[in-house]
Each structure stands twice: as C-alpha cells, then as structure tokens.
Structure 1
Amino acid sequence: MKFKKVLLQTNDLEVMKNFYKNNLGCTLENELADSFEVTFGYTTIEFNNRNVKGNPFYHFAFDIPSNQFLEAKEWVLKRVALSIEDGKDDVYFENIKAHSLYFEDPAGNILEFISRTKDNPTSETSFSINNIIQMSEMSLVVEDKVMVAEELKKAGIIERNGEKIKHTGLNFMSDKNGAVFLLLVSPNRRWYFSQKDAVIFPMTITLENDVKLGIDDNAQFFLI
C-alpha cells in the first residue's frame, strides 16, 4: 500500500503556498485559484480551499533516509520550530526502530519526519526536501473506528499487529506489505507532540491501486 495522492483542505492557501515553496523548498505544481500541489517522493498532496468549514488540520508523516535523521533535524530547525513533547524535540520508537520529529505548517498541520532505521533506504546526498521518500502515515479521524476498520478490510487493509480494533487508542492499518499506514484516530484524542485534539475534517486519499478513501463533506468515511 502506498499513498499516491492526498487531498487536504486549508483556509490559508496563499500562506501555505509561501511556506511550502519558500520555507521547505517544494516546487508548486498545478496551481489554480483554489488549490496547489506539492510532491514528496512518491506522494502528491493537493491543498485546496473548496467549501472549507472551520480551520482544517491533519497529521501526516514522511519517510526520510535511515541515515539522515540528525541531518534532517538540523535542516528543519533552520526553517521552522520543532514541536516539543515532555521537554524533547524528537522521539525514538523502540518497537519499530524509528526516530521521529514533528513540526507544524501555517495551517496547523502536524508534519512528522520519520527515519525507520531498519526499513528506510540510506542516502549519500545532502538532505533536502527531495530526500523525502514518501508519505508513510496519514491519520484518519473517525467516529466509529470499528466500522471503518471493517470497511478497510474489504480493500485488504488490516491492523498492523493483528489486534482487535477498539473505540479508544490508536490503530495502525496497512496491507500485507506493512510499509505505509493509515492511523485510525478517535475525535478529541490529543495529537502527540501537539496541544491540539483530533477533529474530523474532509480529506481524500488515493492509493497506488487507485482505490479512494477518506472523509466526505458530511464527516462520513467513504471507500470506493
């Protein structure tokens, strides 16, 4: 499973363009009056302001080379402040052998750079936005995680550890390859490395096999 394209809403389109172009060094693609796209390795993100309600924000993670976490951290620090959790500006996940750091864009999206030391390839070029491999995690905030998990099974997407889906907690969903994850999140759960609570906002994810899933304008999960 890979994320080919992700559509996210924002009500700060021009500010977001400036951040992704001038702060992160992305090339803006397919610019329209109500949207623009940026590509991170395999994955393209479209930010748009069509029918926006409230102040949409999301959590998503990008894979970076396994040997470049410290270099990437220095690169980020020159461009934006890192988020803090328990007095620390990064974290090591022992269970998946990965280092992560977090920061926010102007819309409040929570971006994560994750270096999976066993799974991600290495790179010998100086770190830049072009070293991002792909979006490897996208959080999906839903009211009924059990129902959504049952729907995802129809597309071959199952819980990472084979655990039973519960209404509380966090569940990592993937296919049998297990390299890219949908994170099922309940509303009002505090985001890690943030003071924000999870809120349901519209979004569309297109997978590599062209399956589409996400949240519609009525805050309902869909899979087509």
Structure 2
Amino acid sequence: MKIKEIILFTANIQRQKQFYKTVLEFELVLDSEEKISFKTGASVLSFVYDEKAVNSSHFAFNIPSNQQQEALQWLQERVQILPDDDNLISDFKDWNAKAIYFYDADKNIVEFIARKNIDINSRNSFSSKNILSLSEIGIVATNLETVYNSINSIKNIPVFDGNLARFCALGNEEGLFILINKTIKKWHPTQEEAFTSNFIIKGDYNFSYENGEIKELL
C-alpha cells in the first residue's frame, strides 16, 4: 500500500515548520499560513492549521533496511529518543523490523522504521534525504471492526497483523493503517493514552478520518 500524502492538523503550524525544516532538515515544498508540506522520500507530510487541533497522532517513515543504527545516531543529535524500556531501538521480531521513536513539536509520536523484508539498503550517510516514504498512520477508535469495514469498502485491504479487538495493522510493509482500540491499547513505546485525531490520507486509499468517521475522498 503506497501512501502519497498524510495531512495532519496543528494549532502550532509555525512551531511544526521550525521542527521539520530546521531540526529534522526536511525539504519544505509548500509554505503558507494555512498549510505546510515536506518531501519525505516518495511521499509528502503536510500540516494544516486548525486552532482546535489538540490530540496527537502516530505516524511512521520507512528508512533503509540497513540504517537503524545510523538513523539513531543522527536523531540523537536532534531530538530526545523515546525509549522502549531500556532500549533506544525497538526490535519487532515478528515484523523483521527495528524502529526508533521521538516526539515532534505537537507531541505526535514519530517513528523511523527499518524493515528488513523491504530489503532496500543505502551506502549514503544517513540524513532526512534517506527516508523512503511515509509508511504508517495510526487510527484510534473504540470499534476497530467499523473502521476496518469502512476502509475495506473503499478498496479491499489485507490484515497484516493483529485482530480487530485490540490492535490491528492493515496493509503491507510499504504502508500500514495501525488500528488501536483506545479503551484497551496504549501507544508504543510511551504507554500513553491514545486519542482520536483527525487526518487526511492520499495514495492507494483516499479518505479523511474526522471525529472517528472515515469519509472517502472522491
């Protein structure tokens, strides 16, 4: 599943601009008072101003399969890493992947994940230019089956991992919807409460997630 763009909402658009442009050195490709966009490999990460936006999100970027250690060192010079117990890199053995987590300026939980099964390696020194694409967006709800049925009605989507009771990943290693039952599951690795936050996604699936409802973009 390919993700072309994820649009999130922020009450602090200038602070997010400063974070992604200056701290993470992402390429700014759209800059206005209402919307900012950054090139992230084959995809685009955007933020739209909304003074009522309060809930944080979770999203992830795929990075080269061999660069989790280089990415960690690069990030440690710029942000505080969110540890997984005593580890700075989470090891997802069932997914054959390793991930690093940190907050952005809105306390969104951002993830850099190196998926070995994708088998895309890089010999270049790690930087934001090494990011392959956006690869995950979290969807927080109370009824995961309803979310799954709504997405599946747009286009059939496979279950990658989990179940519809607590946690379910839909899609494939190029792109995943991470469904979280907020009454049971908390965000990894911080174990903080997961809240429903609005977003728009474009790519193989085009829809908005607003106030817990999925609406297809036509």
Q: Aligned equivalents of 2:142 and 2:214: distance in 1?
A: 9
1:132 correspondence with 2:160: no
Task: Please tell me whether the aligned partners of residues 152 and 158 of structure 1 are also in contact (alpha carbons under 8 angstroms).
Answer: no
Q: Which shifted more, 22-31 or 127-136?
A: 22-31
What residue identity is the alignment partner of 2:147?
V
Please state how far the C-alpha of 1:34 moved relative to its aligned partner.
1.5
Question: Aligned residue for 1:45?
Answer: 45
Distance in 1 (CA, whole Å) between partners of 2:164 and 2:212 is 20
Give 1:195 deviation, angstroms. Answer: 4.5
Counterpart in the other structure of 2:73: 74
In the alignment, does 2:169 pair up with 1:172?
yes
How many residues align structurally? 215
CA distance in 2, matches of 1:29, 1:202: 22
What SS class does the counterpart of residue 95 from structure 1 fall into? helix
Which residue in the other structure is 1:61 paired with? 60
Q: Is the 8 A contact 1:91 1:100 kept in 2?
A: yes
Look up the match of 1:31.
31
Determine if the alignment matches structure 1 residue 9 to structure 2 residue 9.
yes
Q: Hey, what does 2:212 align to over in structure 1? A: 219
Please report the TM-score for the alignment, with normalisation by the length of structure 1. Answer: 0.89
Structure 1, residues 28-63: CA drift from partner, whole Å, max 9, x if none? 12111121001111111111113x425231101111
2:193 match: 197
Alignment gaps of 5+ in structure 2? none
2:141 alignment partner AA: V
Identity of aligned residues (%): 27
**Secondary structure of 1:102's aligned partner:** strand
Structure 1 letter corresponding to 2:61: F
Q: Is the 8 A contact 2:9 2:53 kept in 1?
A: no
CA distance in 1, matches of 2:3, 2:142: 23
RMSD of aligned alpha carbons? 1.7
After superposition, the C-alpha distances for 1:116-155 in whole angstroms (9 at most, x for unaligned) are 1232300111111010001111111123211111122221
Q: Cα offset for 1:178? A: 5.0
- Given residue 192 of structure 1, which amino acid in structure 2 is its aligned partner? H
Distance 2:216 2:190 in 1: 29
Q: CA deviation at 1:200?
A: 0.9
Counterpart-to-counterpart distance in 1, 2:43 and 2:36: 14
CA distance in 1, matches of 2:119, 2:193: 30
Query: What is the alpha-carbon distance in structure 2 between the residues aligned to residue 54 and residue 117 of structure 1?
Result: 35
- Contact 2:58 / 2:138 at 8 angstroms: preserved in 1? yes
Structure 1's consecutive aligned runs of 4 or more residues displaced over 4 angstroms after TM superposition are none
Q: Calculate the TM-score normalised by the size of structure 2.
A: 0.92
2:209 partner amino acid: I
How big is each residue's C-alpha offset from its partner over 1:70-92, in whole Å with a ceiling of 9 and x where there is no partner?
A: 11110000000100221221111
Conservation of the 8 A alpha-carbon contact between 2:4 and 2:203: yes
